[in-house]
Chains A and B, each alone.
Chain A
Amino acid sequence: MEFIRKNLDKIRKPFNKGEKYERFAPAINAFDTFLFVPNHTTKSGSHIRDAVDLKRTMVTVIIALLPALFYGIYNTGYQYFIQTNLEFTFFDAMLHGSKKIFPMIAVSYAVGLFIEFIFAIYRGHEVNEGYLVTGLLIPMIMPVDIPLWMVAVSVAFAVLIAKEAFGGTGMNILNPALTARAFAFFAYPTYMSGNKVWVSEASSLDGISGETILGYLAAGNNINYTFTEMFNGSIPGSIAETSTLWIIVGAIILIFTGVASWRIIVGGILGASLVGILFNLWGINTLMQFNWINHLVVGGFAFGIVFMATDPVSASQTQTGKWIYGFLVGVFCILIRVFNPAYPEGVMLAILLMNVFAPTIDHYVIERNIKKRQRRWESSKIKLI
């Protein structure tokens, strides 16, 4: 360890304060602090600090994402091989999926971190860890066959417009990863919806097609998947959103470590269930008849409510607000699914919509606290008189 530290100190010398490349310090700091928690000590405020920092928080989210990611890699291969009727093993499926997905992750990180580094140097602050999560989320919610350049453009759009334009990490209104997906969805619709994008190489091979379950339902067809298949995730869909099982594993990690708000997740499930049940009772089309429990496991709802809606920056920031926000994400997700056949998946738009309204929810929650205090003040004034 000391050997690495010594060499690192040597490498970073020209970047230190007062040296030649001081301006580029955020870039070298990002690598340095990735290897070592720095030796900074407290100057003012509390003399001792908790072991937790933003890096640890973000890394916990990444760990929680890994089960869903690995299943997504496997499912990419699985969907390809069963459609082409080739014999395959687990490793073949993983290999096929890896070849598809790792380049997407690499492109996402390269483009996103490059922009983040430039802004960090330009603004003179350190590189924030938030992009480590965003950069992994973006490929995980894309269709597998999307061209890499589209990933790159979506990432650039998301980081520049959704995040940096608002002032960088902690200031953004919209979830950057979902903004990337929404951008791709509206800019390149043929690559983002239909029945040729969800199974790898479906567009180049005749005879392969894989519509998502929500796509089937929106077209008025019935589906022939069992609940177990839908729950386990061996169905076509965006890369990592299909397996509710592995998403639940991620959710347990996030809730156990306290990194994600369980209020949002529970609120979302309640909202989606309630609307799902109401539609079941109404039941005038296939989507409405679709069992409400199935609504929770198909499409991106589970992934969205666990990993995207819980983004602390774009969600509601008050504890009460989180309940309302989560609940409404669930409600709007099912509403959009059922009422808008042009968008068979509603969770992306539901979360983005609620991102916009989260500050309003917080405003009313805080306003209530302020009013309560003012009432107390008024009554104490009366007493004084």
Chain B
Amino acid sequence: MSVDIKIRKGFNLNLNGEANKILSESELSNTYALKPTDFFFLKPKLLVREGDKVKKGTPLFFSKDNPRIHFVSPVSGEILAISRGEKRKVLEVVISSDNNNDSVKFKTTNFKNFSADEIKEILLKSGTWPFILQRPYGIIAHPEDKPKAIYISAYSTLPLDVDFDFILKNKKDNFQLGLSMLSRLTENLYLTVDSNFNSFFKNIKDATLLKVKGPHPAGNVGVQIHNHKPISPGEKVWTVKPEDVSNIGSLFKTGEFCSDRTVAVVGPTVKNPQYFTSTIGSSISSILKKINIDKSKKCRLINGDVYSGKTTDINGHLSYSNNLLTIIPEGKDYRMFGWLPFKDNFIPSMSKTSFSKFLSKKKMEVSTNLNGEERAIVVTGEMEKVFPMDIYPMQLVKACLNEDIERMEALGIYEVVPEDFGLIDFSSSSKIEAQEIIKKGIELIINEES
């Protein structure tokens, strides 16, 4: 079988606790939250106050950089709280649901004849636009642009990642409709899939299928773009997540903002890892009601995957776009002489100073322990091993540390987002935090540009 994008460098981390192919409805959540911090470099301007009544689809805030981009309530109800952090930065807009599902309606009856501008207008007004991100930088797309291409990655390589084929099983029509609508915004719409795929994706229309093969980060859409048709300055490429494509489809079919979010609760301490149908911003507690967790260990709840997800807790809410809720044990313990080579092989490691690669995933004991301390960068060549792009990752990280914008640009910062450095974070023997460094570097560039 021919492969369109073949990735050689990388590492598949096999963990225990992958979601079983069971889909149930999660308990209804009492509160929902929308977090501006889920969007990279978003400066929100609030449109609601505590106590305001909102419908599903009522705008809660918009982007100061582009007031056309609205973020809407995923449910109907009342604004319960607006929590702020340092410098009054908005962290969360919490909505208490009235379970009525009143929603703002849009006219989409003759969507089949919509032009690109009309499609954009509906996406913007309905609050569906934030599903579309752009490269470079991984920020929300500018509606004024015409993208060179739109990529949708349905190839999952993250540890314990979801199966998009399973998630979209009942949403095939919406997914197809979403693809058709997106295909009018660009000349090149790509859907990337596993090279061994055998699913309804075969019969997809309006999008070009790209077969991808290789270990993580081959599933990262940025890695795929780089290895397919890398972007240059001035070019814009958009990316959308598979379930959001179906949400876009649903919008045109029903005329309502679709806030569906299928979540897989996964992790080695989860006794019944499985999928739930839920809603954007649902409370974590509502999703976990039907989940049994091994309570003997203190655990960390992660909104997203183990490499790039955000820490949350039982009082938190689901992030905007993630399909994963990962639960792993906290690793607050000591290991005597744990630095000896080939000791404690149960800790996942891609280094050849451990036999962990030869152990089955059941024997793996993953935790949040740092397994060492942060040090200066000494070992060279280890970042390149897990970075399948024609970019020098260590030099790029150092350029970001030096805040040397010219060099960051020359080394290819346009083509990366922090998540592409997740595996570098994991494998670094100096325990450096490349994702944070790259994030700050990109922020610096965006600030400079504006």
Mark A residues whose CB is within 8 Å of B: 1, 4-5, 33, 35-42, 44-57, 59-60, 63, 126, 128-130, 168-171, 256-259, 261, 312-313, 315, 317-319, 322, 366, 369-370, 372-374, 376-377, 380-381, 384
Contact = CB atoms under 8 A, between A and B. Distances in A.
B335 A37 contact: yes
A-B CB proximity, top 9 nearest: A53-B372, A170-B376, A37-B338, A46-B425, A45-B433, A55-B339, A52-B351, A51-B347, A51-B349
A265 to B, nearest CB: 13
Main secondary structure of the interface of B (DSSP, over half): loop
A56 B307 contact: no
Interface stretch (B19-27, B238-246, B387-395): B387-395
The interface centre, meaning the residue of A169, A257, A373 with most chain B CB atoms within 10 A of its CB, is A373
A56 B341 contact: yes
Nearest to A321: B380
29 contacts: A5-B334, A36-B337, A37-B334, A37-B335, A37-B339, A41-B368, A42-B369, A45-B434, A46-B308, A47-B302, A48-B367, A49-B372, A49-B428, A50-B427, A51-B348, A51-B354, A53-B375, A54-B372, A54-B430, A56-B341, A56-B372, A59-B339, A169-B376, A169-B378, A170-B375, A170-B377, A312-B379, A317-B394, A370-B410
A12 B321 CA distance: 45
A149 B336 CA distance: 36
B306 A48 contact: yes
A170 B379 CA distance: 9
A126 B232 contact: no
Contacts of B369: 37, 39-42, 49
Contacts of A384: 234-235
A47 B13 CA distance: 13
A38 B373 contact: yes
Given A5-B334, A63-B341, A380-B232, A50 B428 contact: yes
Of the listed residues A1, A45, A168, A377, the one surrounded by the most CB atoms of chain B closer than 10 A to its CB is A45
A369 B341 contact: no
Nearest to A362: B395
Given A51-B353, A258-B351, A373-B390, 9 more contacts: A33-B339, A41-B330, A46-B422, A51-B345, A55-B372, A170-B375, A256-B352, A317-B395, A369-B391
Contacts of B375: 53-54, 126, 128-129, 169-170
Contact of A50 (B234, B351, B367, B384): B351
Contacts of B336: 1, 4, 35-37
Contacts of A57: 353, 378-379, 429
A57 B381 CA distance: 14
A381 B232 contact: yes
A49 B378 contact: no
Contacts of A38: 334, 370, 372-373
Nearest to A32: B334
A60 B422 contact: no
Contacts of B366: 48
Query: Most chain-B Cβ atoms within 10 A of its Cβ — which of A1, A52, A129, A366?
Result: A52
A171 B373 CA distance: 18
Best-buried of A38, A51, A380 by chain B (most CB within 10 Å): A51
A257 B371 CA distance: 18
A312 B380 contact: yes
B370 A41 contact: yes
Interface in B367-424: 367-381, 384, 390-392, 394-395, 410-412, 422-423
Given A49-B372, A257-B352, A377 B233 contact: yes
Contacts of B372: 37-38, 49, 52-56
A318 B429 contact: no
A56 B340 contact: yes
A355 to B, nearest CB: 14
Contact of A51 (B356, B384, B391): B356
B381 A259 contact: no
Nearest to B304: A47
B316 interface: no
B199 interface: no
Nearest to B418: A45
Interface string B314-344: 0000000000001010111111111111001
B338 A36 contact: yes
Given A36-B335, A53-B429, A42 B368 contact: yes
B350 interface: yes
A220 B55 CA distance: 96
B412 A42 contact: no
Given A56-B353, A126-B373, A257-B341, A319 B378 contact: no
A52 B370 contact: no
Nearest to A372: B390
B339 A370 contact: no
B381 to A, nearest CB: 6
Contacts of A36: 334-338
B209 to A, nearest CB: 24
A50 B410 contact: no
B309 interface: yes
Given A47-B307, A50-B371, A53-B431, A319 B381 contact: yes
